Amino acid sequence: MLLFLFRRTALAVLVALTVLTFAFVLTRLAGDLAIVIAGPEARAEDVEAIRRAYGLDRPVVIQFFDWAWRAATGDFGESFFFRERVSTLIRQRLPVTLTLGVVGIGIALVVAIPLGILAALHENTWIDRAVGLVAMVGQALPSFWLALLLMLFFGLQLGWLPISGTGSWEHYVMPGIVLSFSAIPALMRLTRAGMIDAMSSDYIRTARAKGLSRSSIVLKHALRNAAMPVVSISAVQLGFMLGGSIVIETVFALHGIGFLAWESISKNDFPTVQAVVLLFAVIYIVLTLIADVANAVLDPRLRAS
Amino acid sequence: MRALRNAGLAFGALVVGSVLFCAVFAELLMPHDPFAQDLTRRLLPPFWLEGHDPAHLLGTDQLGRDYLSRLILGARISMLIGITAVIVSGVIGITIGVVGGFFGGRVDDVVMFIITTRLAIPLILVALAVVSLIGSSLTVVVLTLGLLLWDRFAVVARTTTMQVRTLDYVSAAWAAGCSRAWILGREVLPNILSPLAVVATLEMALAILLEAVLSFLGLGVPPPLPSWGLMISEGKEYMFFDPWVIFVPGITLFVLVMGINLLGDGLRDMVGASQVR
């Protein structure tokens, strides 16, 4: 177990370091950063001044290690556009995105698990097919389009919910629903497969033989076993969802990390872009690490591989 | 149930076939020039609403351009992006996956590391950043998506290669003294193609959706090209008064992605590739 924990953590750190390098290389794709920052109307002296001010006149390797060292300690420098520390910006915006992520995964689980159970209990009937169709529709709906449709219906037609902004809990309802759509299909299929597996196992036959009620068998015995992979995949899905929040936060003008990312990309604000790429990657890496370790603790068979 | 499944496959094939037809023969099918503006005839409603013009079946956009013509040319952009991105990502992913699955050991450790790293990189964010840094064009969008979407190809190619590697006909080929390249190309690859075809449909749907997302956020296919995502983005400002401007391209996009997924689902059942999800 200790060896597994060590190897898995080492892998996570290695991946994080690779992403760190990637985030640095990414912003050098445009060529000379100083010219991009200075803008099209800058004179040669201005570009030179900017190059010196941001330390871009140093060798790239030195720039990288300087940046990486600071990034590893949580210092991402100053934003070009917002005139503020990037770490301050992130600290201000992170609660919004985390709230959105938790609301999204919450809605996804509340919808996906009952539907998955329903499909599994009626395997290969029209109910099963109908649930499968729902999953497929959810997968095919473009998230930004669904967001606009919800705005038109709940915001404009019915006037129930605010169309954009960050103020109250109501601002999280529509974005949360849209975000949950990205996780529902996968979670639903996993619940269905797990339940079908569990319902045909020996301990369920025993429970049936004991004369337990159907609801007790399904909820207490089968679901408990089927839920484990669902919980660990939902951690992974949460990681993906936070990455996808950029679209939804932009559409709903929800001022979280995703909105910050979009603003900084469109304003060529490289320090912020680098920081956000790294932040989302690290959140994903940590979530998958937790999920893997939790799985290994619960299921010793997984530790061997 | 069999009939239902076949109906899904037929619907998928019909949708993908018609969109492909529009994409190939766009010039012949478009009733108007999709770039010709007519500011006196802006935002004409489509045929099911009052006040429509029979000459513009699906109405006109905010610059008076024929919506149907733009929709048809948009099919070409979506299909072009979908197919090219799948080819690029397929070549990358299958190479990586087959190498890892075939050689195993240390090589496989490296392959797993590459796949894990790719999954940790936030897809939309990085795609947006790359397109914004290099400048948006059709080529940049296709290459960016192709270079990012290979993970599922790699995962499935790796698992299936591992399964095939130990089968009797591969051992027989080894025993017969075939070279490594021969075994990879003639014994392994043909036998993992059907699950990979299913992956291709999934990735094509994803690439088309992501192009629409990038274009919607203003960092995809540059205007005046009529990408469906861009059409929704341009229509967004008018949707509170003319909601049909976002309905039309949105429904087309949704139906195409749904069709591709149904096609992939039917394919999965046909070839029995249950390992792809």
Contact between chains at A268 and B132 (C-beta distance less than 8 A)? yes
Contact between chains at B216 and A19 (C-beta distance less than 8 A)? no
Q: How far apart are the first and last CA of chain A?
A: 11
Q: Tally Cβ neighbours within 10 Å of residue B35.
A: 14
Using a CB-CB cut-off of 8 Å, the residues of chain B touching A26 are: 126, 129-130, 133
Give the pLDDT confidence of A24-37 residue by residue, as tens digits.
888 777 666 777 77
Kindly report the CA angle at A58 between A52 and A60, in degrees rounded to 5? 130
Residues 116-155 of A with CB under 8 A from B: 124, 126, 129, 136-137, 139-145, 148-149, 152
Show the tokens assigned to A97. Answer: 């995105």
- Which one has a higher pLDDT value, B25 or B42? B25
- According to the model, what pLDDT value does residue B150 have? 92
- Grade residue B222 by pLDDT with cuts at 50, 70 and 90: confident
Nearest alpha-carbon partner for B85 in B210, B198, B195? B210
Report how far residue A73's alpha carbon sits from residue A52's, in angstroms, rounded to the nearest whole number.
Answer: 24
Average pLDDT value for residue range B58-84: 87
- According to the model, what pLDDT value does residue B75 have? 92
Write down the pTM of the prediction: 0.88
- According to the model, what pLDDT value does residue A30 have? 65
Contact between chains at B213 and A144 (C-beta distance less than 8 A)? yes
Contact between chains at A145 and B120 (C-beta distance less than 8 A)? no
Q: Tally Cβ neighbours within 10 Å of residue A224.
A: 10
Contact between chains at B4 and A129 (C-beta distance less than 8 A)? yes
Residue B153 has pLDDT above 80, yes or no: yes
Contact between chains at B124 and A144 (C-beta distance less than 8 A)? no
Using a CB-CB cut-off of 8 Å, the residues of chain A touching B134 are: 29-30
Report how far residue A199's alpha carbon sits from residue A224's, in angstroms, rounded to the nearest whole number.
Answer: 11
Nearest alpha-carbon partner for B236 in B225, B250, B257? B250
Question: What is the predicted ipTM?
Answer: 0.85
Query: Is B162 an 8 Å CB contact of chain A?
Result: no
Per-residue 3-state assignment (H helix, E strand, C coil) for chain A: CHHHHHHHHHHHHHHHHHHHHHHHHHHCCCCCHHHHHHCCCCCHHHHHHHHHHCCCCCCHHHHHHHHHHHHHCCCCCECCCCCCEHHHHHHHHHHHHHHHHHHHHHHHHHHHHHHHHHHHHCCCCHHHHHHHHHHHHHHHCCHHHHHHHHHHHHHHHCCCCCCCCCCCHHHHHHHHHHHHCCCHHHHHHHHHHHHHHHHCCHHHHHHHHCCCCHHHHHHHHHHHHHHHHHHHHHHHHHHHHHHHHHHHHHHHCCCCHHHHHHHHHHCCCHHHHHHHHHHHHHHHHHHHHHHHHHHHHHCHHHHCC
Using a CB-CB cut-off of 8 Å, the residues of chain B touching A265 are: 125, 128-129, 132, 219
Average pLDDT, chain B: 86
Nearest CA in chain A to B123: A243
Residue B273 has pLDDT above 90, yes or no: no
Residues 236-295 of A with CB under 8 A from B: 242-244, 246-247, 250, 261-262, 265-266, 268, 273, 276-277, 280-281, 284-285, 288
